[in-house]
Chains A and B, each alone.
Chain A
């Protein structure tokens, strides 16, 4: 590594780096849309430009990961639904094999927040019905003969009559409207908030829940035929345990228990996790207004519905949702109505009964759902049914709305933090390394230029968005980048201390520093990649920028810092003690020992 060779190589390194930078910026300016200033604008994340992020998590009955194609199908349906709300530039992406993330830039849009509400429609025959005794104060028992609120009749045959008029306060209500209760207001436990008990991710096993219950009570509860039998005040303290069950545990209880135990209120049943009663081949319990309904297996599903529309019922004046079935679905529907003539069939949406009219006759045509809903609810329901029942049920895990003003403030704060961090590092390097500090600054500038271009290009090509966490990643990476120089400079000092001239020390220091830098950067990169692949949420952005910076760091150290140090080491001014501080490293009582004359032995660091 003699000097003349080095000279040649240095220019080659710089040329390579220059070519990379020129190529990057050529791509920045000559590809992509918009004016020059637009092209220099990195794609900002929602937390920096304002917008909304909704994270939905797929729920599966067994707690396992959903199938890939199901998740993808759900994503497409959700995309259609968001599209239906008329917002622009949104994106719906899957994350982590289980989550679907909806990003909508700009202003708050409350409609989008509802998008993930599942619409699993099931038609189930009603087997029996009981009032929700537990929710109401003991003395008051709601009208035992609750009347169904809606009708289902073939639009084609006007002869079909509603089994009950959708009037009277005692009747139930539509699936979405707040429940008008016939009895005194329910206790706080009925307010719809799920019980505070644990809400862990793992699915709850029925056996585990039953273990929580006193065996004697359990036996008693399992034997009774109707909830009235459990109304003994003496039993009450023993039954308290049911009130403490979490919503998942409630869902895991056997249906007979859900139905018979008065302490399991409608509020608790409604609060079961989404999709708890979606399985068509099981009997389920669901509430309509203040009545618990025991329902048979589902024979007609939401997927059998071809299209749904909301319209005003010309006769009753209320809103209704009209359903058209697919051909197979129509067969199922006809078959079901044939079997259930004279019985009630409940339209169950998710965890609640929308309406449960009595079937008057076989219906070979379309159906409609009426209930106590207004125009908006009817349209919502229709749209949910239209865009397809999701193949999976989702729970809204995280909804975040960032106002555009806060976004800009965050961006400014992030840039300020970066500026302060960079300034501190620069200051420190100048104090500590003197002239070598300038090399640090030049290297940092160089790497910033590359990273900036990379961020713009990645934003265009793979949709990478710069988030606040991402900015934090870059700032943190300043440390990593600067550290590579520290390693090189410290090695250089070691070599000079051994009596070498700065010039001859550079190649030797480089060989050793290179190894260290590569090892250390590999570890950093490994951490970033693992985080990026496995973590969820905002951190992906952090991991990405950290990784990107690490890669750029290697590039810069190889193509810029080292050649620059090599180049500068040829100038006497640079190597003087006062300027670079390296001269200080020479042995005290040996002013200058020519490096060549030193023997090879002290081959240290």
Chain B
């Protein structure tokens, strides 16, 4: 079976949990780098944070950006940045200036219409006080706090406390990573960006919740048996939902990619671009963290519980015993027996009664992440 086929069938056996230390280190390094970037390099804040005015208008035929800049300058405004954005018939000039009062704004617009023959009504202008961005951000942080509390409670009730902790940690990781990428590349941060960042919350958790749903299902009742320990069951869940995770992330990314293409490519500025960009970065981070971080963290937390420690010992003991006594055949299920008679042995019966026992597979395909345990020790 090729990799694609295995992915399609959910038969991959990637050892996400076993190699978790590696991912922790990688993520730790990246997170620290991101934090350092955020602290030392900071962000490229838009005028919503620094305050000021901006004028956007369709490029008049034959006019150059320098001309436009000079006109605005001559009208008494201090031009801070001048940009040409978009392509084709939609090329636009965006000029940002220091804060202007209403009369000055009117003057600039009149100058533009006089010198460059732009219709005054076609000039989009905005004036932002320097505190606007701050207020939006403050409100966003309040929203973030409220959301974290509510969603923790939800996951706590719906699943359990430790899942809530891991999910929230993964979420914070996504936020830091996204912010770090913004700082590194120097994308402009606007209130839309801040809000887009908040939306990642939903997505990141959405993905994590689906994986946890599977983990919960796989681990329900494993305490009663000796077949598999928590880490193995969780790893199986990640593998089983791997394709779904990839699909989900791809399917979420595709429309956002469309947004990004139109927002950044055709329009060049504005809400669409700001939102799409941050979502794109955040979704990618979210997909990574729900597979490589959230579940391993959960396993780390769970394996501290005495009952799971005991389970692990039981599983290991059983496997050792099985290895000693050799094959004690006891066909457990017809399907399994047909597919792979030699593995359908260990823990037969013990894992019954609602234990969601992973089915036996046909091909070993590498020893890592073998969740059903019985095979590896033989």
In the complex, are the beta carbons of B139 and A535 less than 8 A apart? yes
- The answer to whether A503 has its CB under 8 Å from any CB of chain B is no
- The answer to whether B45 has its CB under 8 Å from any CB of chain A is no
> Interface readout for B121-162 with A: 1 if CB under 8 Å, 0 if not?
111111111111011101110110011001100110010000
Q: Give chain B's interface secondary structure class.
A: helix
Stretch of B261-269, B292-300, B302-310, B320-328 with 4 or more beta carbons under 8 angstroms from chain A = B261-269
Given contacts A479-B256, A486-B244, contact A107 B121 (CB under 8 A): yes
CA distance A146 to B105 in the complex (A): 33
- The answer to whether B67 has its CB under 8 Å from any CB of chain A is no
Given contacts A472-B275, A598-B333, contact A410 B129 (CB under 8 A): no
Q: List A contacts of B276 (CB < 8 A).
A: 417, 472
Please give me the residue from chain B that is nearest to A54 by CB atom. B127
- The answer to whether A397 has its CB under 8 Å from any CB of chain B is yes
- The answer to whether A542 has its CB under 8 Å from any CB of chain B is yes
**Nearest CB on B from A268, distance (A):** 15
In the complex, are the beta carbons of B125 and A472 less than 8 A apart? no
Q: List A contacts of B266 (CB < 8 A).
A: 413, 416
In the complex, are the beta carbons of A199 and B143 less than 8 A apart? no
CB contact between B270 and one of A404, A410, A476, A546 (< 8 Å): that residue: A410
In the complex, are the beta carbons of A200 and B359 less than 8 A apart? no
In the complex, are the beta carbons of A542 and B199 less than 8 A apart? yes
- The answer to whether A61 has its CB under 8 Å from any CB of chain B is no
Q: List A contacts of B339 (CB < 8 A).
A: 587, 589-590
In the complex, are the beta carbons of A413 and B263 less than 8 A apart? yes
- The answer to whether A249 has its CB under 8 Å from any CB of chain B is no
CA distance A590 to B337 in the complex (A): 11
- The answer to whether B22 has its CB under 8 Å from any CB of chain A is no
Q: List B contacts of A546 (CB < 8 A).
A: 199, 202
Please give me the residue from chain A that is nearest to B253 by CB atom. A479
Q: List A contacts of B125 (CB < 8 A).
A: 108, 399-401
- The answer to whether A603 has its CB under 8 Å from any CB of chain B is yes
- The answer to whether B68 has its CB under 8 Å from any CB of chain A is no
- The answer to whether B201 has its CB under 8 Å from any CB of chain A is yes
In the complex, are the beta carbons of B154 and A599 less than 8 A apart? no
CA distance A398 to B133 in the complex (A): 9
> Interface readout for A509-523 with B: 1 if CB under 8 Å, 0 if not?
000100110011011
Stretch of A12-20, A125-133, A357-365, A419-427 with 4 or more beta carbons under 8 angstroms from chain B = A419-427
Stretch of B13-21, B32-40, B204-212 with 4 or more beta carbons under 8 angstroms from chain A = B204-212
- The answer to whether A137 has its CB under 8 Å from any CB of chain B is no
CB contact between B206 and one of A478, A520, A537, A587 (< 8 Å): that residue: A520
> Interface readout for A461-484 with B: 1 if CB under 8 Å, 0 if not?
000000011001001101110110
In the complex, are the beta carbons of B247 and A409 less than 8 A apart? no
Given contacts A107-B121, A421-B254, A535-B143, contact A498 B335 (CB under 8 A): yes
CA distance A402 to B272 in the complex (A): 15
- The answer to whether A335 has its CB under 8 Å from any CB of chain B is no
Which of B214, B255, B339, B357: most chain A CB closer than 10 A?
Answer: B255
In the complex, are the beta carbons of A421 and B143 less than 8 A apart? no
**Nearest CB on B from A418, distance (A):** 7
In the complex, are the beta carbons of B128 and A397 less than 8 A apart? yes
In the complex, are the beta carbons of A604 and B357 less than 8 A apart? yes
In the complex, are the beta carbons of A490 and B243 less than 8 A apart? yes
In the complex, are the beta carbons of A201 and B334 less than 8 A apart? no
- The answer to whether B83 has its CB under 8 Å from any CB of chain A is no
Q: Give chain A's interface secondary structure class.
A: helix
Please give me the residue from chain B that is nearest to A114 by CB atom. B102
- The answer to whether B258 has its CB under 8 Å from any CB of chain A is yes
- The answer to whether A601 has its CB under 8 Å from any CB of chain B is yes
In the complex, are the beta carbons of A520 and B262 less than 8 A apart? no
CB contact between B151 and one of A405, A417, A526, A542 (< 8 Å): that residue: A526
CA distance A423 to B262 in the complex (A): 14
CB contact between B362 and one of A110, A469, A587 (< 8 Å): that residue: A587
Q: How many residues of A contact B (CB 8 A)?
A: 99
Please give me the residue from chain B that is nearest to A53 by CB atom. B126
Please give me the residue from chain A that is nearest to B125 by CB atom. A401
CB contact between B257 and one of A421, A526, A593 (< 8 Å): that residue: A421
In the complex, are the beta carbons of A602 and B206 less than 8 A apart? no
In the complex, are the beta carbons of B251 and A482 less than 8 A apart? yes
- The answer to whether B346 has its CB under 8 Å from any CB of chain A is no
> Interface readout for B174-193 with A: 1 if CB under 8 Å, 0 if not?
00000000000000000110
Q: List A contacts of B254 (CB < 8 A).
A: 421, 424-425, 428, 479
In the complex, are the beta carbons of A425 and B210 less than 8 A apart? no
In the complex, are the beta carbons of B256 and A537 less than 8 A apart? no
In the complex, are the beta carbons of B333 and A405 less than 8 A apart? no
CB contact between B140 and one of A429, A486, A526, A535 (< 8 Å): that residue: A535
> Interface readout for A171-207 with B: 1 if CB under 8 Å, 0 if not?
0000000000000000000001100000111000000
CA distance A183 to B199 in the complex (A): 56
Given contacts A400-B126, A519-B209, contact A528 B202 (CB under 8 A): yes
In the complex, are the beta carbons of A512 and B56 less than 8 A apart? no
CB contact between A601 and one of B209, B262, B332 (< 8 Å): that residue: B332
CA distance A523 to B150 in the complex (A): 9
Please give me the residue from chain B that is nearest to A603 by CB atom. B356
- The answer to whether B373 has its CB under 8 Å from any CB of chain A is no
Q: List B contacts of A604 (CB < 8 A).
A: 218, 356-359
- The answer to whether B90 has its CB under 8 Å from any CB of chain A is yes
Q: List A contacts of B147 (CB < 8 A).
A: 526-527, 530-531
Given contacts A403-B124, A476-B199, contact A417 B244 (CB under 8 A): no
CA distance A107 to B122 in the complex (A): 9
Please give me the residue from chain A that is nearest to B348 by CB atom. A601
- The answer to whether A584 has its CB under 8 Å from any CB of chain B is yes
In the complex, are the beta carbons of B262 and A420 less than 8 A apart? yes
- The answer to whether A588 has its CB under 8 Å from any CB of chain B is yes
In the complex, are the beta carbons of A475 and B258 less than 8 A apart? yes
In the complex, are the beta carbons of A539 and B121 less than 8 A apart? no
In the complex, are the beta carbons of B243 and A397 less than 8 A apart? no
**Nearest CB on B from A450, distance (A):** 18
- The answer to whether B27 has its CB under 8 Å from any CB of chain A is no
Q: List A contacts of B338 (CB < 8 A).
A: 587, 589-590, 593
> Interface readout for A566-605 with B: 1 if CB under 8 Å, 0 if not?
0000000000000001001101111001000111011111
- The answer to whether B222 has its CB under 8 Å from any CB of chain A is no
**Nearest CB on B from A356, distance (A):** 24
Please give me the residue from chain B that is nearest to A585 by CB atom. B9
CA distance A421 to B90 in the complex (A): 21
CA distance A584 to B258 in the complex (A): 32
> Interface readout for B43-87 with A: 1 if CB under 8 Å, 0 if not?
000001001000011100000000000000000000000000000
> Interface readout for B1-15 with A: 1 if CB under 8 Å, 0 if not?
000010011100000
Q: List B contacts of A96 (CB < 8 A).
A: 139
Q: List A contacts of B279 (CB < 8 A).
A: 476
CB contact between A534 and one of B142, B202, B253 (< 8 Å): that residue: B142
**Nearest CB on A from B251, distance (A):** 5
Please give me the residue from chain B that is nearest to A193 by CB atom. B99
In the complex, are the beta carbons of A483 and B248 less than 8 A apart? yes
**Nearest CB on B from A506, distance (A):** 17
- The answer to whether B172 has its CB under 8 Å from any CB of chain A is no
- The answer to whether A164 has its CB under 8 Å from any CB of chain B is no
Given contacts A424-B255, A497-B10, A519-B209, contact A192 B101 (CB under 8 A): yes
CA distance A199 to B135 in the complex (A): 11
> Interface readout for B87-111 with A: 1 if CB under 8 Å, 0 if not?
0001000000011011001100000
CB contact between B195 and one of A410, A520, A531, A587 (< 8 Å): that residue: A531
> Nearest 10 pairs between A and B by C-beta?
A421-B255, A527-B202, A479-B252, A421-B258, A420-B258, A417-B262, A534-B143, A424-B254, A539-B195, A400-B126
A sample of 26 cross-chain residue pairs with beta-carbon separation below 8 angstroms, ordered by A number, consists of A47-B271, A57-B135, A193-B99, A397-B129, A397-B131, A399-B125, A399-B127, A401-B123, A403-B123, A405-B122, A421-B258, A424-B254, A468-B270, A472-B276, A475-B259, A499-B335, A523-B205, A526-B151, A527-B198, A530-B143, A530-B147, A531-B147, A538-B191, A538-B271, A598-B334, A604-B356
**With contacts A417-B261, A535-B195, A590-B338 known, what are 7 further pairs, Cβ within 8 A?**
A199-B130, A201-B138, A402-B124, A417-B262, A424-B254, A535-B143, A587-B362
